[in-house]
Amino acid sequence: MSVLLLGDENLTFAGCLLQQLRAEGHGPKLTVTVTLAAESVREEVLQRANALTAAGVSVLFGASPLQLKTENFGSRFQEFVAVLPGLPFHG
């Protein structure tokens, strides 16, 4: 199952989702987007990104949901999960 997780600014939801999908027996291909650039996030977020990457998750920094629409990401994923409450705060 390929899953696109949009807007997980601190990557905590991504970690929980990965654990849940694995517990259900899925071998997910998880891609997570963060709207902020890697240089703009706290060190703890970078550490989570490194842990997720080591677990086989693709983490994309500086990705806008509007940008993803124009790059045809939709055809690559079976499931979409949007975590968007941080978008208004971050502009």
If you write DSSP's letter for every residue of 38-75 in order, what string do you get?
GGGS-HHHHHHHHHHHHTT-EEEES--HHHHHHTTGGG
Q: What's the confidence (pLDDT) of residue 57?
A: 96
89 is written with which tokens? 């705060």
First to last CA, the chain: 31
Fold held by 2-85: FAD/NAD(P)-binding domain (3.50.50)
- pLDDT tens digits along 53-85: 999 999 999 987 777 666 666 678 888 888 866
37 is written with which tokens? 């650039």
- pLDDT tens digits along 23-46: 998 888 999 999 899 999 999 999
Asked whether 48 and 12 are in contact (CB, 8 A), the reply is yes
